[in-house]
């Protein structure tokens, strides 16, 4: 399967290249980070040996190529490293390689090897930002046997194929345009859905969504991808379960304008598209939506879904704080952070997951509850509703210690669905000037698993340049490059609904400057 690496992307708001997640899942800073670099054109290819396609151990190899001879090895790493690592977290058999397309002109060994792989092994070719006509002609001449070809931001002379059938693209060369149409060779609901899902995910421009694009195509045309098994509809059995067990909740939801809008919005999302799904939920949440979800999903699992917390990557917690070995109480105190001296524990500077880490004005509240041993986490954040209005949202997580100090299990009931997460305190300097927290989670009955990370500081500002080396190392522990992070918009954050329950307590061991 072949995939093209991102070419020249238009920078969006966010950190400069050396400053940084764009989240949700799961990626670069706005695609501006998946390629905050200015690569004129490149392509990424993932190949699956055809004799092994049906076996779970099939190797999937990816190749990225750019037409810029000036592209450095570091820039090539930026194109290939995060998607490649995250694909391996899904399946160790996935492998990705990166090339710049200047080798095509040389007719050297690399060119010959790529020709051979395209003619014999590649099942998917992804072309990104390729407009040079010599490169275009080379791809046209050597990709005829590839069953799946998708082209992003490339020459309109490059054809898209899915499942061996050609798919029309718009005149500007964007991948499948905005679902401009499927050719007469194959008109199937599956192809239309794949086009829609991949197009929308690509436009969000982050590394997790680029991985998602690749997995959707693998799942549809090469072999099943277990984490996308919820893409299949259960049809009548789902409806029967809902009517039998949740009739009153369904009726109340349909009669509630907000709940009805939420269902209409969710119906337009791919079941595995967490960014789209969570935006619908946060835009239209209501008591009736919570009751509907609680009955249909949490209590009766009418969609018959099951998702588990990802085991990869495993991120070890920091070993020491202020010269002493990290213990559970100190790790909790790091979470509590600046609460007491400030009205919040931390503010989120940047995040990785595109679904959950990129909301504006994120405040974190960590505190100890009145009950012995209880610990709570309450994030407060803004949501831009689909109609454009800005609203505040708040969640409440129960937190329990993990076996290893610095690791924790979080659980939350979010609009009727329980999510369980495994969090790690990755690093925090002695003065608590910043912190890095990593998490892996799953909403089991929604069929969604995810990973993410948040960079935090007391005021929402990026850490000083003097801390950059330590921060980069902490991010490396998570398998994250600094430039992948999405910058959180911390402007216009007036009047957040903060505060913690009366009787709660804060730090147990460490002292924080007030």
Q: Specify which of 33-42, 223-232, 245-254, 265-274 reaches the highest per-range mean pLDDT.
A: 245-254
Query: Half-sphere exposure of residue 225, counting CA atoms within 13 Å on the CB side?
Result: 25
Q: How far is CA 77 from the centre of its chain?
A: 19
Residue 501 CB partners (closer than 8 Å, separation 6+): 367, 369, 370
The rounded distance, in Å, linking the Cα atoms of 229 and 4 is 25
pLDDT in tens, 100-113: 666 666 667 777 77
Instruction: Determine the average pLDDT of the residues in 378-406.
Output: 94
pLDDT of residue 506: 96
The rounded distance, in Å, linking the Cα atoms of 151 and 121 is 19
Phi, psi of 303 (to 5 degrees): -85, -5
Query: Is the per-residue pLDDT at 427 higher than 80?
Result: yes
Phi, psi of 24 (to 5 degrees): 90, 20
Banded model confidence at residue 203, pLDDT cuts 50, 70, 90: confident
Tell me the three-class secondary structure of 373-442, residue by residue.
Answer: CCEEEEEEEEEECCCCCEEEEECCEEEEECCCCCEEEEEEEECCEEEEEEEEEEECCCCCCCEEEEEEEE
| Residue-averaged pLDDT of the chain | 77
Pick 6 or 372 by higher pLDDT.
Answer: 372
Query: Is the per-residue pLDDT at 331 higher than 70?
Result: yes
pLDDT in tens, 110-167: 777 777 777 777 788 878 778 888 888 888 888 888 888 888 888 888 888 888 888 8
**No. of helices (H) and no. of strands (E), the chain:** 12, 19
Residue 457 CB partners (closer than 8 Å, separation 6+): 346, 347, 349, 433, 434, 435, 463
Pick 79 or 381 by higher pLDDT.
Answer: 381
The rounded distance, in Å, linking the Cα atoms of 315 and 407 is 9
pLDDT of residue 175: 54
Using DSSP, state whether 311 is helix, strand or coil: coil
pLDDT in tens, 294-322: 999 999 999 888 888 988 889 999 999 99
Which of 68-77, 245-254, 402-411 has the lowest average pLDDT? Answer: 68-77
pLDDT of residue 104: 62
pLDDT of residue 234: 55
Banded model confidence at residue 258, pLDDT cuts 50, 70, 90: very high
pLDDT of residue 297: 92
Element spanning 62, H or E: strand 60-66
pLDDT in tens, 88-97: 777 777 766 6
Element spanning 83, H or E: helix 73-90
């Amino acid at each position: 399967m072949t995939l093209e690496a991102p070419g020249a992307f238009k920078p969006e708001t966010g950190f400069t290249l050396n400053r940084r997640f764009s989240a949700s899942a799961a990626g670069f800073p706005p695609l501006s980070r998946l390629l905050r670099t200015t690569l004129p054109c490149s392509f990424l290819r993932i190949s699956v040996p055809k004799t092994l396609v049906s076996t779970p151990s099939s190797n999937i190899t990816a190749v990225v190529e750019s037409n810029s001879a000036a592209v450095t090895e570091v820039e090539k790493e930026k194109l290939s490293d995060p998607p490649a690592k995250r694909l391996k977290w899904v399946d160790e058999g996935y492998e990705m390689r990166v090339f710049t397309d200047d080798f095509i002109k040389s007719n050297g060994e690399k060119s010959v090897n790529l020709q051979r792989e395209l003619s014999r092994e590649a099942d998917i070719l992804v072309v990104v930002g390729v407009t040079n006509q010599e490169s275009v002609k080379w791809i046209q001449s050597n990709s005829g046997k590839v069953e799946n070809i998708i082209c992003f931001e490339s020459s309109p002379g490059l054809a898209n194929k899915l499942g061996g059938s050609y798919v029309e693209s718009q005149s500007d060369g964007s991948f499948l345009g905005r679902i401009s149409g499927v050719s007469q060779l194959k008109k199937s609901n599956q192809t239309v859905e794949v086009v829609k899902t991949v197009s929308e995910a690509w436009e969000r421009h982050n590394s997790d969504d680029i991985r998602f694009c690749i997995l959707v195509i693998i799942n549809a045309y090469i072999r099943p991808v277990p984490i996308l098994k919820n893409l299949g509809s259960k049809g009548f059995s789902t409806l029967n379960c809902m009517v039998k067990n949740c009739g009153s909740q369904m009726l109340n939801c349909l009669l509630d304008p907000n709940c009805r809008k939420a269902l209409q919005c969710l119906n337009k999302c791919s079941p595995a598209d967490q960014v789209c799904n969570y935006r619908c939920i946060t835009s239209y949440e209501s008591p009736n939506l919570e009751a509907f979800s609680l009955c249909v999903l949490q209590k009766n699992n009418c969609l018959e879904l099951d998702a588990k917390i990802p085991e990869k990557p495993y991120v070890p917690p920091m070993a020491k704080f202020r010269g002493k070995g990290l213990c559970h109480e100190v790790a909790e105190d790091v979470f509590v952070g600046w609460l007491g001296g400030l009205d919040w524990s931390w503010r989120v500077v940047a995040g990785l997951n595109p679904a959950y880490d990129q909301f504006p004005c994120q405040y974190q509240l960590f505190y100890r509850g009145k009950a012995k041993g209880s610990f709570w986490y309450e994030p407060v954040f803004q949501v831009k509703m689909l109609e454009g209005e800005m609203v505040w949202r708040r969640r409440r997580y129960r937190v329990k210690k993990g076996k290893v100090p610095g690791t924790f299990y979080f659980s939350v009931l979010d609009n009727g669905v329980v999510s369980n997460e495994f969090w790690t305190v990755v690093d925090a300097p002695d003065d608590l000037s910043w912190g890095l927290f990593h998490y892996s989670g799953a909403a089991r009955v929604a069929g969604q698993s995810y990973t993410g990370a948040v960079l935090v500081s007391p005021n929402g500002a990026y850490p000083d340049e003097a801390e950059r080396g330590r921060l980069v190392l902490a991010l490396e522990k998570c398998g994250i490059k600094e430039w992948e992070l999405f910058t959180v918009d911390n402007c216009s954050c007036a009047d957040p609904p903060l505060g913690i329950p009366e009787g709660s307590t804060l730090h147990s061991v460490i002292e924080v400057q007030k």
